[in-house]
């Protein structure tokens, strides 16, 4: 468990704030994040990289609230973005565009232009076709695009197929065999400057072996690319480090990076800038989703606990059958019963947890744990449900960092047919 999330008597606190009190004040569903937990998750990255040229680029997609981005910007982080929308958030949060890397297989010309004008550090390019278009856009603007190629090291990250990205069958990256020739092409294009190499093999990775295998493959390529006459400055090893949702035992960032740096040094690449793109491991266990129990429906086969949060608020269980811990924020003394915790949305896939031992009554507030990553950022308005509010705590201080979406917001861009 997190040292920032703990019971004091029967009441669950995030830092020095009672979650029951927060839900009463701000309503539910409610996302709550701990600023200190985020900074504590960043610390092992910073410790491991101390004394070497490095950049930790927080992956904005994991949690893109501008107050979260502000927290990481103030801590010295760069950002990994995948759209001009994410770039706009970084800039609004006071992030430094010179510390931004732009990833993704489908950047539009307009997005390339915005990122070039903002002066991002690097484009992580995923195909030859993208490289040609980026060259055109950059020369049109009389600017230079600094690039890495995202190479596909073809290692199995051993994670869920939907979030595994480093295998040959994936849409991501440039095949290992084509990397050298694509680098030569890049180096020949106007408006393009090769600065690094990038890989990202997947997400929620709980083992060091796939990272070390990918690193070996990447360093093999760096040696081949430089032998072919193209200089590589930085190594971007992506994100993907997993967190504990239930009984996973991922390595700490400090241990993982220690092993990677040892290999980088042993192979004679210690002079290079080293970059990472962590998302989940910086925010996942810093957040909870609070939800109120509406109705209990005990049954012959299943007991259903109907709560006011749903798959539109938190998609991970419905989409990946992901396990997220669920606890009562006020512990009861009555014996626990097994409940399927379900939302109000009209789909059988709308569940947050199955067969969970809980002692609960209507009106109780439950906390869905480890909800700081890929929670709010994947939320939708399905069933015309406004998205949840978000709150950040720091010690005993509480900030509302996003207001609850009102129903009037939901269709204000829609238009009735007008008689002609």
Cβ closest to ligand LLP, residue 124 vs residue 328:
124
Contact 392, 70 (CB under 8 A): no
Contact 247, 206 (CB under 8 A): no
Query: Is position 347 annotated in a ligand binding site?
Result: yes
Name which position in 281, 291, 312, 370 contacts ligand LLP (CB under 6 A): 281
Classify residue 171 by burial, with Cβ atoms within 10 Å: 0-12, 13-18, 19+: exposed
Query: Rule CB under 6 A: is residue 191 a binding residue for ligand LLP?
Result: no
What residues pair up with 8 in beta bridges, in sequence order? 11
d(CA 27, CA 25): 6
Query: Is position 13 annotated in a ligand binding site?
Result: no
Residue whose C-alpha is closest to residue 367's, from 375, 387, 335 = 375
Query: Rule CB under 6 A: is residue 278 a binding residue for ligand LLP?
Result: yes
Tokens of 193: 């400057």
Total interface residues for ligand LLP by CB under 6 A: 19
Query: Rule CB under 6 A: is residue 374 a binding residue for ligand LLP?
Result: yes
Tokens of 223: 């040696």
How many Cα atoms within 13 Å fall on the side-chain side of residue 187? 15
- What x-and-dash track marks residues 146-165 binding ligand LLP by CB under 6 A? -----------------x--
Query: Is position 240 annotated in a ligand binding site?
Result: yes
* Cβ 267 to ligand LLP shortest distance, Å: 23
Query: Is position 126 annotated in a ligand binding site?
Result: no
Residue 388 DSSP SS3: coil
**Region 55-114 residues binding ligand LLP, contact defined as CB under 6 A:** 59, 62, 80, 103
Cβ closest to ligand LLP, residue 64 vs residue 360:
64
Among 1-9, 46-54, 277-285, 347-355, the segment contacting ligand LLP (CB under 6 A): 277-285
CB atoms within 10 A of CB 282: 31
Cβ closest to ligand LLP, residue 163 vs residue 393:
163
Query: Rule CB under 6 A: is residue 280 a binding residue for ligand LLP?
Result: yes
Catalytic, 346? Answer: yes
- What x-and-dash track marks residues 297-316 binding ligand LLP by CB under 6 A? -------------------x
Give the CA radius of gyration of the chain.
23
Query: Rule CB under 6 A: is residue 176 a binding residue for ligand LLP?
Result: no
Cβ closest to ligand LLP, residue 247 vs residue 300:
247
Among 141-149, 197-205, 222-230, 353-361, the segment contacting ligand LLP (CB under 6 A): 197-205
Residues recognised as catalytic = 346
Residues at the annotated binding site?
240, 277-280, 316, 320, 347, 374
- Residue ranges in contact with ligand LLP by CB under 6 A: 59, 62, 80, 103, 163, 200, 203-204, 238-241, 277-281, 316, 374
Residues at the annotated binding site for pyridoxal 5'-phosphate?
240, 277-280, 374
């Amino acid at each position: 468990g997190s040292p920032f999330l703990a019971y004091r008597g029967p009441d669950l606190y995030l830092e020095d704030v009672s979650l029951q009190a927060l839900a009463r004040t701000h309503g539910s569903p409610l996302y709550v994040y701990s600023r200190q937990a985020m900074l504590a998750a960043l610390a092992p990255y910073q410790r491991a990289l101390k004394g070497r040229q490095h950049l930790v680029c927080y992956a904005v997609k994991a949690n893109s609230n501008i107050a979260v981005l502000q927290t990481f910007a103030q801590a010295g982080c760069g950002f990994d973005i995948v759209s001009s929308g994410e770039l706009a958030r970084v800039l609004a949060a006071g992030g430094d565009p010179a510390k931004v890397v732009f990833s993704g297989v489908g950047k539009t010309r307009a997005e390339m232009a915005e990122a070039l004008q903002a002066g991002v550090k690097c484009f992580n390019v995923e195909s030859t076709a993208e490289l040609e278009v980026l060259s055109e856009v950059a020369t049109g603007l009389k600017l230079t695009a600094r690039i890495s190629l995202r190479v596909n090291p073809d290692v199995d990250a051993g994670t869920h197929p939907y979030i595994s990205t480093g295998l040959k069958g994936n849409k991501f990256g440039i095949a290992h065999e084509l990397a050298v020739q694509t680098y030569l092409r890049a180096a020949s294009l106007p408006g393009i400057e090769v600065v690094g190499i990038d890989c990202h093999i997947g997400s929620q990775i709980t083992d060091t072996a796939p990272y070390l295998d990918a690193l070996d493959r990447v360093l093999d390529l760096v040696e081949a690319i430089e032998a072919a006459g193209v200089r590589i400055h930085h190594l971007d090893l992506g994100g993907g480090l997993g967190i504990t949702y239930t009984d996973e035992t991922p390595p700490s960032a400090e241990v993982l990076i220690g092993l990677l740096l040892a290999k980088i040094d042993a192979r004679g690449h210690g002079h290079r800038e080293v970059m990472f793109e962590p998302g989940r491991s910086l925010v996942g266990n810093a957040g909870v989703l609070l939800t109120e129990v509406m109705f209990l429906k005990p049954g012959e086969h299943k007991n259903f606990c109907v709560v006011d949060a749903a798959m539109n608020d938190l998609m991970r269980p419905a989409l990946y059958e992901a396990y997220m811990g669920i606890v009562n924020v006020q512990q009861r003394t009555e014996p626990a019963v097994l409940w399927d915790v379900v939302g109000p949305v009209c789909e059988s896939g709308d569940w947050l947890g199955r067969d969970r031992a809980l002692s609960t009554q209507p009106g109780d507030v439950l906390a869905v744990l480890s909800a700081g990553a890929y929670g709010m950022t994947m939320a939708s308005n399905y069933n015309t449900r406004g998205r949840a509010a978000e709150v950040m705590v720091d010690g005993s201080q509480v900030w509302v960092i996003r207001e609850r979406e009102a129903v009037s917001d939901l269709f204000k861009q829609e238009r009735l047919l007008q008689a002609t």
